[in-house]
Amino acid sequence: MERTILHCDCNSFFASVEGVLNPELKKYAYAVCGDPEYRHGIILAKNELAKKYGVKTGEAIWQAKSKCPKLVTVKPHYKIYKEYSEKVFNIYCRYTDLVEPFGIDECWLDVSGTTHLFGSGEEIADELRSVVKAETGLTISVGVSYNKIFAKMGSDYRKPDATTVINEDNFKDLLYPLPAGDMFMVGRRTAEKLRNAGIFTIGDIACADERTLKRILGENGRVLWQNVNGFDYSRVHSFDYREAYKSIGNGATFKRDLVSQRDVRTCVFFLCDKVAARLRKHNVECSAVQVGIKDTNMHSINRSVQLQSPTDLSFDLRRTALSLIQDNVDVGKDPIRALTVTGTKLLNGDDVCEQISFFDLDYHTKREKEQRLEQAKDGIRHKYGLGTLTRCSFIHNEFGF
């Protein structure tokens, strides 16, 4: 049976919520921006008027203001956005129980089983647009298709406040002339690799040889080829379905750059303590560690390494993270702007048994001590509050945490 899948996307979500809360704003070009004090001073969302001036999400406030000097900037109110997100998702849930969120303001709906109640996919899409607008003041754009990827492409195709149907008859006409970078899951880097191989449009991807794509992009190339040809059979999960945690990570953009070993140590300790506490909270252990490093030119690299045995200790995470950083950055010479530490390949804590290497008993004695220490700290924080214990190096630090 052909499926009917919708992808709904709130238009300029953060900016639209601000407009609902304060309708006066709508007279002006405005944008929701991060806090410049913490170097998060970038555009998070903008309204249509600001868009007309060429203001782009992700650019610095000064860049936006050079194009639109009268741009009104608004601080984000994440708690309120979460409430609006829930309101909108609750509306979707009236039409099907298969509602799979994709971020705070987007989700897929599989309405194959409910079209006999509510009408065709297109009719449901139009109804959703008007119900969401009436009940929340927000507009959404909706893509209707027979698979998730094309539904997502549909909600991007025309916005704001529009329905786009992409079916087996029209998908080539609508999608194939678009640049390859417009395809779902094709980022800037991937688009560049494709361009270098003479692949410029989505149609070019579809016509390319599956093996060529696999050579350029690895396994992702094969999946991409299938997606542009409409062979996406992935299912829409129900709203309460949560995939088991695949990874747990924390990152930060620091208030000032990290320019010494000491800076890096302090910040790695901070991130690893957080990640480890979350691993223990969810009773999982990671068997690999990934570090993301961003330099002052906004260039990022990710490096990961497999651990000898799984862990939920900050002690193991920071040893690994620090050595990954040493191996990839000339600390002291190349300033670091942002770092993330992520524990990946998670295992259920109950299934983990530790492998003890007899060649490294020193390490194990030390590790056992650390384990008791970290568990004791969890206990104290649980009983007396998160802020009761902190490392001396974190007090009055200049990094913004």
Which residues contribute to the site for Mg ion (CB under 5 A)? 9-10, 13, 105
Asked if residue 291 lies in contact with residue 324, where contact means CB atoms within 8 angstroms, the answer is yes
- Integer Cα distance of 106 and 126 in angstroms: 16
Minimum Å gap between C-beta 106 and Mg ion is 6
The least distance separating Mg ion from the CB of residue 104, rounded to whole angstroms, comes to 9
C-beta of 365: minimal distance to Mg ion in Å?
A: 52
Nearer to Mg ion by Cβ, of 9 and 312: the residue is 9
Indicate the residue among 57 and 253 with the shorter CB distance to Mg ion.
57
What does the alpha-carbon distance between residue 268 and residue 317 come to, in Å, rounded to a whole number? 9
**What secondary structure does DSSP assign to 37-79, as a single string?**
GGT--BEEEE-HHHHHTT--TTSBHHHHHHH-TT-EEE---HH
Give the side-chain half-sphere CA count within 13 A for 179: 9
Q: Which residues of 286-324 are buried (b: 16+ CB within 10 A; e: fewer)?
A: bbbbbbbbbeeeeeeeeeeeebeebbbbbbbbbbbbbeb
Question: What are phi and psi for residue 16, nearest 5 degrees?
Answer: -65, -40
Packed helices 78-92 and 13-21: angle between N→C axes, nearest 10 degrees: 100
**Nearest-approach distance from CB 105 to Mg ion, in angstroms:** 4
Tell me if residue 285 is catalytic.
no
Which bin fits 230, alpha (ψ -120 to 50), beta or left (φ > 0)? left
In terms of CB distance, is 13 or 171 closer to Mg ion?
A: 13
CB of 132 to Mg ion, least distance (A): 12
Distance CA 20, CA 80 (A): 11
Q: Residue 14 or 95: which CB sits closer to Mg ion?
A: 14
Contact status, residue 272 vs residue 317, Cβ threshold 8 Å = yes
Give the nearer residue to Mg ion in terms of CB position, either 9 or 285: 9
Q: What DSSP letter does each residue of 190-223 carry, written as one string?
A: HHHHHHHTT--BHHHHHHS-HHHHHHHHTHHHHH
* CB contact at 8 A, 83 and 98: no
Minimum CB distance to Mg ion smaller for 13 or for 254: 13
Least distance (Å) from Mg ion to the CB of residue 239? Answer: 18
Task: Tell me the C-alpha distance between 364 and 32, whole Å.
Answer: 49
Of 62, 50, 52, give the one whose Cα is nearest residue 25: 50
Nearer Cβ to Mg ion (18/105): 105
Candidates 18, 100, 106, 285; catalytic one: 106
Active site residues: 106
